[in-house]
Amino acid sequence: MKIVYQKNITTPGRPPRQTWLAHQSGNVVGMIWEAIVRRKIMMVSLLVMLVTLPILYLVMKYQSKVEAAWFDDTFAYRQTVAITNAGTAQTDFQVAITLNTSALVTAGKMQSDCDDIRITDVNGKVLPHWIEESNPGCNQTTTKIWAKVPSVSTTGTIVFLY
């Protein structure tokens, strides 16, 4: 190992001292180059962290659930209905949905005759539906609504009730 250069260090209130700095290659240019490269790598790493950490924080803080687009802006209330299926995939399948329409009418989210109910698939397509009037009918705690769903996969599907 060769001694490359000498550095004088002064500390206020103490006598000056000398420190000998060495480099394995004994090459001053190589030592300076390594110091520059190390400093650049450190600066670039710091810059990358200063840019990516706030972005990552904001993405994590303000992430939102991915949902289907709203069917119609005049409808102020939507409820997600998960349809499960333990069997084979179904097409044009009639699904029964039990809903407390009485609570929705009381809250002002639905008309008392249930005439404003709409059911859509995840693409916003309105699905045919009907209400069992005698079992127990509309504006009840257990209103039974039937919807014709185009397809129900083996893992189930989602529809939206407006």
- Which pTM does this prediction carry? 0.58
- Residue 79 near residue 161, CB atoms below 8 Å: yes
Lowest-pLDDT choice from 42-51, 54-63, 111-120: 54-63
Dihedral, 103, 94, 152, 123 alpha carbons, nearest 10: -60
Strand partners, 143: 99
Give the pLDDT band of residue 25 (cuts 50, 70, 90).
low
- Residue 115 near residue 101, CB atoms below 8 Å: no
- How many Å apart are CA 146 and CA 125, to the nearest integer? 16
Q: Which residue has the tokens 């709409």?
A: 118
Give the pLDDT band of residue 1 (cuts 50, 70, 90).
very low
- Residue 102 near residue 139, CB atoms below 8 Å: yes
pLDDT of res. 87:
87
Give the pLDDT band of residue 22 (cuts 50, 70, 90).
low
Q: What is the pLDDT of residues 83-140, one digit of tens each?
A: 998 889 999 999 999 999 999 999 999 999 999 999 999 989 999 999 998 878 899 9
Does residue 58 surpass a pLDDT of 80? yes
Q: Determine the straight-line distance between the first and last CA of the chain, rounded to whole angstroms.
A: 80
- How many Å apart are CA 5 and CA 23, to the nearest integer? 9
* Burial bucket for residue 75 (CB in 10 Å: 0-12, 13-18, 19+): middle
